[in-house]
Chains A and B, each alone.
Chain A
Amino acid sequence: MNVAYHAGFIAGSFILLAAISVPLTRFRNGSSVLYALAAVVSGLAMLSSMAALSRGVSLQAVLPFGLPGTGMRLELDALSAVFSIIVNLAAILASIYAVGYGRFDPAPRRVLPFYCLFLLGMNLVLIADDAFTFLLSWEFMSLSSWALVVSRHEEKENRDAGFLYLVMASFGTLALLFGFGILAGESGSYAFDLIRERQLTPFAASIAFLLVLIGTGSKAGLVPLHVWLPPAHAAAPSHVSALMSGVMTKVAVYGFIRVAFDLLGSPAWWWGTLVLVLGGVTALLGALFALMQDDLKKLLAYSSVENIGIVFVGLGLALAFEANGMNAAAAIAATAAIFHAFNHSLFKSLLFFGAGAVQHATGTRDLGQLGALIQKMPATAVAFLIGSVAISSLPPLNGFVSEWLTLQAILLSPELKDWGLKFAIPATGALLALSAALAGAVFVKAFGVGFLGRARSHAAIEAHETDRFSLAAMGAAAMLCVLAGIVPGLFVDGFAPAVALMTGAPMPDQSRLPWFTLVPMDVNRGSYNGLLLLLFILFTAYGAVIVIHQFVSNAIRRAPPWDCGYPDSRPQTQYTASSFAQPIRRVYGTLLLRARDFVTMPPPGHVRAATFRVEMRDLIWEKLYLPVSGSVLYAAEKLHPLQFQTIRRYLSLVFGLLVFLLTVLAIWL
């Protein structure tokens, strides 16, 4: 099969869907029909990618449009196919979810067309085989997702998020544009085949690498380029948030892998160190910021920042191993990165679906208004719980497997010779462990405050279970999380062709091992079996239940909560989201977030209420972004007089500039 059919089918169907979406909304259930069709198209796109991956061939095509001379080049190789499966799998889930959820959309016409175009843009980025097509699709993806972010533009918060996103996306694309410019060189050969053949000087390669890291990193949410991500992901409708957080960040990861591993050839020694450290810092700060959020969707978005950090740690390790010629170790690190990207697309989609269901059921996503939803939304609660366990990288679910593989790769790294890496890698390992533990706290907070305890508002008491389609999507995502946790070997084998393309050698074949064990190198070095662990836990736990209920007692007596003798019926006396985070805020936040608590107590005898206020500062925003935006405003202010001139002045300015540039050119040459 030709990749042109693949691309043509996706492009044709999604453009058609976008076109019919607006008239379709006139009908009852029109949006549901459209989302169902989008799910079918995504499903077919996924099947086509799976077929290409399993046949192990790379499909290429050149279409007669795009850049003159280059044409529109498309290629579906193993790397594209793996990411295409990740993207389209999550797109299927999000579309099924939206079959139910989309019905409650107040303005479906602002969402539906762009939703289809967004899916199209992401698919095209993955199969682009020349820089022009890549950038065009990339920008297509950015702009369509921007339209989705501002779909609820009535709220100022969403408009601000959209503006920030637009600025950062443009900045990222600009960096990518220059990066590809350097890759193409003077000859201007934008086809990826020609870029691969070119031998760049180490300096030029490094500049291109940095530019691409900035461009893709800003889309993926690497610190310090992550600031746009939480507000934008929180502002979009929930199924779009799931796609942006779960999938679009993976497209960015794909872009980085494509350039850093495929197009640039052999990496310089410090590239890996840089990516590794950036990833570690991103993971830590993402988790810490996530813990400080009271808004459920912002919490999830910051947790995406954390997970992207983990993915980039894996990629940095892979680069470092590759630079030192340790391809087997590089394969483990690269597998860990791709596996974590896959896992994150699953559980993050699942959690955003849950957040959307909660928001629809209660009208709020402020954790301070929720509580006890496990009673009112039992199925959503189970799915959200599975997602929480998975994302906290706890065995036996899938988040643990990719984290474990990353740690196994770290343990192979003392063989590396660079001294920078010898210090950076253990430090990154510690950061990774810290962020994993913080992620656990984040999701104890999210689930514990949102779903457990007593309801904190009337809305939470009145909450109701969400619709069948949303539940089906959440259930499928939860099952996939379990499946990827207990039979990780199958997934690792599936990613193997892509890993071979990245690092030159895949991980050893896992399919022959008994009981789906995962053995990265040698069974004596370390192995993991999620299936057995799950069975053991279930057997022992269930065995205990059976034995105790059978032979001792199974009587339950319901009574008021004891609470050490001081029960208080007001739900306000429970721990809130902010008070849950207080111990950790006090331990880590005083340094990293400049968190300070202000307590004012009225003097004895006064009846004034006591107040409590927490102040936190985002140092990255203050030290990096505010100066830049301030100087832009200052420059704009200064240049303002140029705006209202006569035509003579303008012409003389143009003339002056021309003379200046010609003079520069004359001196230069």
Chain B
Amino acid sequence: MTYKAIVIGASTGGFYALKRLITALPDGLDFPILVVQHISPNSDNFMAKYLNGISKLTVKEADEKEPILPGNVYIAPPNYHMLVEEDFTIGLSTEEKIRYARPSIDVLFESAVFAYGAQLIGIVLTGANNDGAHGLSAIKKAGGLTIAQLPSEAEADMMPQSAIDLAKPHHILPIDGIAKLLTELNTNQKK
């Protein structure tokens, strides 16, 4: 299976988890990464700028209609849902919060399933709610690869645990293990 994209959802403790994961990934990554991190509606794009400065990948806050390119990391802007359009561009929406969240992990994951089908990798990281569980389940149903952070390692275990309970993901791994798996998949894909 060749994969076309990675989607990641994170909430409480997500900033540190994403920092560890994204800085561990090599440059020349063959897929784009789309990230929803739950964040205050009025925050600025500090996280994208910071991660961009310390990682080998290009990390940016997503703009509407922006083409989704391999090797880039797109962070959902505060107070907007981020969707994947089927022509592989970014869609943004201000529709109501889903499970108290905007951006919502489920909204990103479910739209990505329509765009990428089975060629999608979904990852649920640390968080203190159950956003992402339905989305990860949808990815699994479509034949994509599903991963949850090892709850005992997560700063908040509820979100990965909810995803594990509902989606029964293929892998349950600590951050280091997720980084290693993605790096291997990337290497195999390039062969």
Real binding pair: no
